[in-house]
């Protein structure tokens, strides 16, 4: 645990932590988090946001289950962003679609939205 705390003060900023409303923490690549315009802005080193200094973003309106799906999408988007070919569909369970839509509106994806398809 102390290694994690010391890394937030060091130059190692490859990973960031996203924290859900129910306390689940997900460590993801900064480049994956940057798919979201909101997260990119909050984590920008030139910003004065505490999230940028701590490499940790608390998302009080997003549950752990939903944040896990958001993280999956961020990696999915990162993997396929430079692939002009056939991109596979990103599956969203119907019972999660509305909540994911609200989260995508808040998170503001690079292309204007993080979509549920």
Enumerate domains of the chain plus CATH numbers: 2-107 (3.30.710.10)
* Per-residue pLDDT, 87: 85
* Per-residue pLDDT, 26: 98
* Per-residue pLDDT, 25: 98
Of all residues in the chain, the percent with pLDDT exceeding 70 is 82
Q: Is the pLDDT of residue 23 over 90?
A: yes
Name the region of 112 (left: φ>0; alpha: ψ -120 to 50; beta: rest).
left
| pLDDT class of 108 with cuts at 50, 70, 90 | confident
- The predicted-structure confidence for 44-93, as pLDDT tens digits, reads as follows 989 889 999 999 999 999 999 999 999 999 999 999 988 878 888 999 99
Residues 71 and 18: beta-carbon distance below 8 Å: yes
The mean of the pLDDT values for the chain is: 85
Strand spans (E) along 4-116: 15-19, 25-29, 56-58
Containing 65, the helix (H) or strand (E) segment is: helix 64-80
């Amino acid at each position: 645990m102390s290694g994690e705390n010391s890394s937030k003060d060091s130059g190692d900023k490859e990973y960031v932590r996203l924290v859900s409303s129910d306390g689940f923490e997900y460590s993801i690549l900064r480049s994956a988090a940057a798919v979201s315009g909101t997260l990119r802005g909050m984590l920008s080193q030139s910003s004065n946001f505490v999230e940028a200094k701590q490499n940790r973003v608390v998302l009080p309106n997003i549950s752990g289950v939903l944040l896990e799906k958001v993280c999956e999408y961020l990696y999915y988007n990162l993997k396929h962003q430079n692939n002009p070919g056939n991109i596979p569909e990103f599956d969203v369970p119907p019972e999660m679609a509305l909540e994911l839509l609200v989260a995508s509106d808040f998170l503001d994806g690079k292309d204007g939205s993080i979509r549920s398809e």
